[in-house]
Amino acid sequence: MKKIIWLSAAAVMTVALALTGLNYFTDKKVLPASVNNFEECAAAGYPVMESYPRQCKTPEGNNFIEYIGNEMEKQDLIRVDSPRPNQTVNSPLMVTGQARGTWFFEASFPAKIFDANGKQLGAIPAQAKSDWMTEDFVPFEAVLQFEVSETATGTIVLEKDNPSGLPQNADELRIPIRFDR
């Protein structure tokens, strides 16, 4: 009988030590089932690199880059000071920046805001703040009034004014945003 008690006690102690050791040597952080994008990676607590655009890397070596629209491709044509990509916004929204004079027609170009479903929530012409008859950068601003979105995210679209309507003259800057809820 004493032998069974000693064996039982030894078994319980072995299991307790094994669990303690396992708990000590493993990360207690609960890992998500899968990480598929930058937002999920950052939310899981993985390191976010201070780059532009920001990047997040998982321990498995997967690298996810924050979506910032097409800002990098259009930086020689149009630059936005506010709002910045993925910024939280509400109405009215002041949009400011600078665009090449060729982006304007009659000192303006269309500024629009859409929800994540593609529904247009508001639109207004962005106005040049100085002489737009140049190929240099010209400051602009627009105050977008928009209805409340049903989605958490959306996009601001700044279109190159294209009075000809020809597709080869069309261009746009797309800025992802989040709605203040």
Supply the pTM of this predicted model: 0.79
**What is the strand order of the sheet 55-57 is part of?**
48-49, 55-57, 63-65
Per-domain boundaries in the chain: 2-65, 71-179
Count other Cβ atoms within 10 Å, centred on residue 34: 9
Determine contact, residues 50/41, Cβ cutoff 8 Å. Answer: no
The reported pLDDT for the residue numbered 27 is: 47
Q: What number of CA atoms fall less than 13 Å from residue 21's CA on the CB side?
A: 6
Q: Which CATH class is domain 71-179?
A: mainly beta
pLDDT (0 to 100) of residue 88: 97
Strand partners, 142: 95
124-130 long-range CB contacts below 8 Å, 24 or more apart? 126/95, 126/158, 128/101, 128/104
* DSSP states of 137-169: EEEEEEEE--PPPSSSEEEEEEEPP-TT--GGG
Q: What is the pLDDT of residue 3?
A: 63
Series of mean pLDDT values for 10-residue runs along the chain (181 residues): 58 55 47 82 94 94 95 97 97 98 97 98 98 97 95 98 95 97 74
Q: Which residues contact 150 (CB under 8 A, 6 or more apart)?
A: 115, 117, 119
Q: Residue 84's pLDDT is what?
A: 97
pLDDT at 10: 55
The pLDDT, as a whole number, for residue 130 is: 96
Residue for token pair 């000192």: 107
> What is the reported pLDDT for 6?
53
What per-residue confidence (pLDDT) applies to 181? 74
